Amino acid sequence: MNDLIVKTIVRWVIPFIQLFGVYVVFYGHVSFGGGFSGGALIGASLILYAITFGLKASKKMVPHKRSQWMESLGILWYIALGLVGIYTSAYFLGNKAAGFYMGEAGQLLSAGIIPLLTIGIGVKVASTMITLFQKLVEENEDV
Amino acid sequence: MKKLFVVTVLTLLFLILVYSVLEMPDFASLNSPAYNDLAHYYVANATEEAHATNVIAAIITDYRAFDTLGETTVLFASILAVTSVLMGKKHE
Amino acid sequence: MFDVLLKHMNYIAAMALFVIGLYTVLMHQNLIKKVIGINIMETSVFLFFVSIGMVQNGQAPIINLKDASVTYVNPIPSALILTGIVVAVSITAYSLSLIIQLYKQYGTLNLDEMVDEVEHD
């Protein structure tokens, strides 16, 4: 798309969308939101960038290699946190019993495993959205 | 002709669905069988057991974290499926 | 009669959406429109499921630590429907990729033309 107004506004809006997405991910356990919605926000902002500036710019910003790493790291981080529970002789994905820092309910640093898992889910969902979009679009380019 | 047939069948289906839905408990009623002990348990104990004020976050990442692991696996599998389908060459 | 309908408004709306989605899937020969129809049907199921969890004067289940007398909405349907949304996204992406391959093969998105082409060969 070659429109000055759209390009300028998108360039201004994307940081705020991403900031809001990061907020939704990090405050998932004390207010509305969570990993899926925050990750979807970040992924949507990346897709908006890809729509406005074209596939080449989007691939420069999020190359396939990087998004692949993000996906694998998201899911491996989730499983590793689950295995911590087994290491501390609790159960898989245990929270309080596994000895995570629980804090006080309502604070940002609390709830043990929940914010950590939420970050993993957010990374995973965001990278999945942008990867699917790039895969589907790049296939259509040479038709 | 086909359109008329489809519209008739779908109208009948809609009426059957509405008829069965009207037998359900009222919308937003407190006596709904879905609002049972389990829901009360989650609301009452999520702050003490998981230390999270967002009950839904406590459910999906503490009580049912294994289910969420499955969900992320579904996302992973979808990328795998899309990549493998799009890699195929044109069949001559 | 009207009172009963009004008390089940959300459920009836979900059923109407479901039938609209089914109509889209059945009547349109364009594959992309079929995928859109399937998505409408999925949305109707989500609406139905989340409506079941609604409770009178209920608030969203973010526990208010200062006020213990608040009624909260049933959190279980909202938590479970996340799985459904994820599966819906995956199914949509997969069917779109299949449609892309079909378009490469036949040069059309119309199901009737595809069937014609297969029968001519």
Does the distance separating the beta carbons of A143 and C103 come in below 8 Å? yes
Q: Which pLDDT score is estimated for B89?
A: 61
Q: In the predicted model, is pLDDT for residue A69 greater than 70?
A: yes
Residue B90 in this model has a pLDDT that exceeds 60: no
Quote the pLDDT of residue A140: 60
Give the lowest-confidence range in A135-139, B61-65, C20-24.
Answer: A135-139
Q: What pLDDT score was predicted for residue A115?
A: 86
**Which structural domain range is residue C116 located in?**
2-58+71-120
Q: Which residues contact C67 (CB under 8 A, 6 or more apart)?
A: none
Average pLDDT value for residue range C15-34 = 92
pLDDT of res. C4: 81
Q: With 90 as the cut, is the pLDDT of residue A55 above it?
A: no
Domain span at residue A59? 4-141
Region class of C72: left (phi > 0), else alpha (psi between -120 and 50), else beta: beta
Task: Quick: pLDDT tens for A104-131.
Answer: 777 777 777 888 888 989 999 999 988 8
Predicted pLDDT at A31: 83
- Looking at the structure of chain A, the number of domains it has is 1
Rounded to a whole number, what is the largest CA-CA distance in chain B?
63
Query: Is B27's CB within 8 Å of C11's CB?
Result: yes
Count of structural domains, chain C: 1
- The pLDDT, as a whole number, for residue A67 is 85
Interface of C with B in 66-105 (CB under 8 A): 72, 74-79, 82-83, 86-87, 89-90, 93-94, 97-98, 100-101, 104-105
What confidence tier does B27 reach under pLDDT thresholds 50, 70, 90? confident
CA distance B78 to chain C (A): 5
What percent of chain C lies above the pLDDT cut of 70?
Answer: 100
Tokens encoding A59: 């691939």
Best interface-test mutation with B: which of A83, A104, A114 has the largest number of B CBs within 10 A? A114
Phi, psi of C59 (to 5 degrees): -110, 165
Does residue C8 belong to any structural domain of this protein? yes
**Residue pairs spanning A and C at CB distance below 8 A:** 21
Give dist(CA A17, CA C77) in Å, integer.
28
Return the higher-pLDDT residue of A44 and C53: A44
Q: Do B79 and A104 touch (CB under 8 A)?
A: no
To probe the interface with B, which of C90, C106, C111 has the most B CB atoms within 10 Å? Answer: C90
Q: What is the mean pLDDT of residues C61-87?
A: 85
Mean pLDDT of B59-68: 86
- CB C105 within 8 Å of CB A56: no
Q: Which of C22, C74, C86 sits opposite B34 (nearest CB)?
A: C74
Calculate the CA C121 to chain-centre distance: 37
Task: Please tell me the pTM assigned to this model.
Answer: 0.86
Which of A33, A82, A102 lies closest to B51 in CB terms? A102
Provide ipTM, 2 decimals: 0.82
- Per-residue model confidence (pLDDT) at position A141: 60
Please give the residue of chain A at the shortest CA–CA distance from B84: A135
Q: Give me the torsion for CA of A113, C78, C94, A79, rounded to 10°.
A: 10
C58-85: average pLDDT: 84
pLDDT 10s digits, A99-110? 777 777 777 777
Is the model's pLDDT at C76 over the cut of 60?
Answer: yes
pLDDT of res. A12: 92
Query: pLDDT band at A143, cuts 50/70/90?
Result: very low
d(CA A18, CA A52): 16
Q: How far is A118 from chain C (nearest CA, A)?
A: 14
CB contact under 8 A, C75 and B28: no
Question: What CATH number is given to the structural domain containing C107?
Answer: 1.10.287.3510
